[in-house]
Chains A and B, each alone.
Chain A
């Protein structure tokens, strides 16, 4: 049982971990003028997104490899565009989240994923997502929600997803 005290400690530690990870990232790769766009174009963020997309959308993506790859690429593209449309503070928070998850110690300790994201087995990614979904730690829970919203909005906003869910698209107007 998480007490209020341990929760607060975890929250403070989590905030510090995020700040540290982001700071390390900034040191490693000095930000460009469009630094806040990092979350959408950063290769580490791409690798994390590419690892979670097939797990979040298990049972929803096309099964044929070419269509599946195209769907994933379009989700990455549309999620990136969505991130670039967010307010700067929200972009910064997402950049911090991806920076944290990209750090091997954090990936292993917080996400429980031992291989690099590009090689992570789907079962390990699924266990990570389940744990953060059910987490009593607000940081993990809200991060899960952010990833959930980004990926599901990108896929189900894409007409490619509509036939499988019986949605015919918006009605045609005009004669």
Chain B
């Protein structure tokens, strides 16, 4: 068997810790902690990470709260058995309330950016125009955001992937071309990428320019404090302000809270715990919500899967996992009509493959023995752009943890059926000998006409048709009208003067594309504004700011 990975490669995060970064592992606390800061940021993913760098560079004292562990490239051994349990929410087994949709979300320092597949798209213009037209959003036009996207693209080395796609993606491009669908190359946030294919388990060579190796180190270099294994429990409110944030320390496995707490007192508070975590934090805090908006309109890009058997090897576990996409059914199905979807590929590692292939026993074993020959297409459905696509709702369970109730409506199933048909057609055009649209007991088909006819008859239903999501958005929408939006156009809560939401929960709809660059760009713009509000004289950059003041020592 292959030897463990990553020996002797640089690990800048461990080096930073050795060099004196302030990092506190709350699971090891022996007494309660109180921290003082200018800004407390809950969450270290695309939103929290981006905000942390901008605010710290403005000379503000920043405390970052992360529920998950700090893991670094030295820990990333490209093993699914370790990565899913360690780096993902609920061991990557998070599901919607009725268990019909599986949700993969990061839970570690860097959040989703540590484990995503690096696809980096600017927010589609049609999405931003819909927000302005139908959701009362101002200030986020394509032109207004362009400089922020450009800045974050440069910061995170985002550029089209010029290396040849792996066969998993090449087959998508080939099949799409033969079906008359346009495709393009996916921009990726990588620098010196080894083309390994294990982005979802944490990049072992620090090529992926995640928050873990870019903005968070920059913030820590500027004196920010990072508290890991701490779950933000609730904000304490005083009149129209947040006065403190209470966090509970988690045990070393991240399963249960310990008896220890971490309290952060700050001038401003930023919720950036993702579109399930942020609404849940606001709900637990009982922040003013006169129109009952918090947690509603939560979107997922519900995603369906089609598995193809190819004559030649695909080795879909190897090489950049996503490098080709087709927006044909996004561009030709505008908002207000039938549900559009984006076509991409998904990597096929043994666990991901095994839990995706339906049923069990001999048929399951046969598909698994073909692992090197499997090509997997996915369709990400664009939710939130139609009255019959209102998304889901974040609820609190009896222990205060969130659950997402997301009804799959007939409108969504119509999109699912068209997506499954399209993927089968593309895969046969690419040379598939069998195609299994993932549904029911996993019957496979030998021709496109056979598959298409079967898909037309599928009894699509929750649980009978597996649906997955890796993109959670919405639940704290921004906009100028407090009757329709939780936060204003600056990202500030409509009723609390010093509470900001800076993550994907801001989005009034889904994005219609992998959302990380949307989060980076929009949060960069809003965090610039927050920095100017809190430190007007020093928002220009590193040279202008005061050094951060001392904080209580970490009790490690």
Contact flag A158-B360 (CB < 8 Å), given A153-B355, A165-B350, A168-B2 = no
**A-to-B contact residues, CB < 8 Å:** 55-60, 78, 81-82, 84-90, 126, 129, 133-134, 138, 141-142, 145-146, 148-149, 152-153, 155-159, 161-162, 164-174
B225-258 Cβ-contact flags toward A at 8 Å (1 or 0): 0000000000000000000000000000111100
Partner of B8, one of A81, A85, A88, A174: A174
| Complex Cα gap A92–B254 (Å) | 16
B362 adjacent to chain A (CB < 8 Å): yes
**Which residues between 498 and 539 of chain B lie within 8 Å of chain A, taking CB atoms?**
none
28 A-B pairs, CB-CB below 8 angstroms? A59-B364, A59-B365, A60-B368, A78-B81, A81-B85, A82-B91, A85-B85, A85-B255, A86-B93, A88-B399, A134-B440, A138-B463, A142-B463, A145-B99, A145-B463, A152-B355, A155-B354, A156-B354, A159-B1, A165-B350, A166-B369, A167-B349, A169-B1, A169-B2, A170-B198, A173-B6, A174-B5, A174-B8
B98 adjacent to chain A (CB < 8 Å): yes
Which residue on chain B has the smallest CB distance to residue A61?
B365
Which of B90, B91, B253, B369: most chain A CB closer than 10 A? Answer: B91
B79-92 Cβ-contact flags toward A at 8 Å (1 or 0): 11100110000110
Q: Which 6 A-B pairs have the closest CB atoms?
A: A157-B81, A59-B365, A170-B78, A169-B2, A156-B350, A152-B354
Q: Which residues of A sit under 8 angstroms from B5, Cβ to Cβ?
A: 170-174
| Complex Cα gap A88–B5 (Å) | 32
**B-to-A contact residues, CB < 8 Å:** 1-3, 5-9, 77-81, 84-85, 90-91, 93, 98-100, 194, 196, 198, 204-205, 253-256, 317-318, 349-351, 353-355, 358-362, 364-366, 368-369, 371-372, 397-399, 401, 440-441, 462-464
Q: Is the CB of B361 within 8 A of A59?
A: yes
Q: Which residues of B sit under 8 angstroms from A170, Cβ to Cβ?
A: 2, 5, 77-79, 196, 198
Which of A58, A90, A168, A173: most chain B CB closer than 10 A? Answer: A173
A22: min CB distance to chain B, Å: 15
Contact flag A58-B362 (CB < 8 Å), given A85-B91, A170-B79 = yes
B474: min CB distance to chain A, Å: 22
Q: Which residues of A sit under 8 angstroms from B401, Cβ to Cβ?
A: 87, 89
| Complex Cα gap A156–B256 (Å) | 27
Q: Which residues of A sit under 8 angstroms from B8, Cβ to Cβ?
A: 174
A115: min CB distance to chain B, Å: 20
Partner of B255, one of A88, A141, A152, A162: A88
A106: min CB distance to chain B, Å: 20
| Complex Cα gap A72–B77 (Å) | 25
Q: Which residues of B sit under 8 angstroms from A90, Cβ to Cβ?
A: 90, 93
B340: min CB distance to chain A, Å: 28
Extra 10 A-B pairs, beta carbons < 8 Å, given A60-B365, A170-B2 = A85-B253, A89-B398, A89-B399, A133-B441, A156-B350, A156-B354, A165-B372, A172-B2, A172-B5, A173-B194
Q: Is the CB of A162 within 8 A of B365?
A: no
B420: min CB distance to chain A, Å: 19
B493: min CB distance to chain A, Å: 28
Q: Which residues of A sit under 8 angstroms from B256, Cβ to Cβ?
A: 88
Q: Which residues of B sit under 8 angstroms from A59, Cβ to Cβ?
A: 361-362, 364-366
Q: Is the CB of A174 within 8 A of B6?
A: yes
| Complex Cα gap A87–B401 (Å) | 9
Which residue on chain A has the smallest CB distance to residue B360?
A56
| Complex Cα gap A134–B359 (Å) | 9
Which residue on chain B has the smallest CB distance to residue A134?
B441
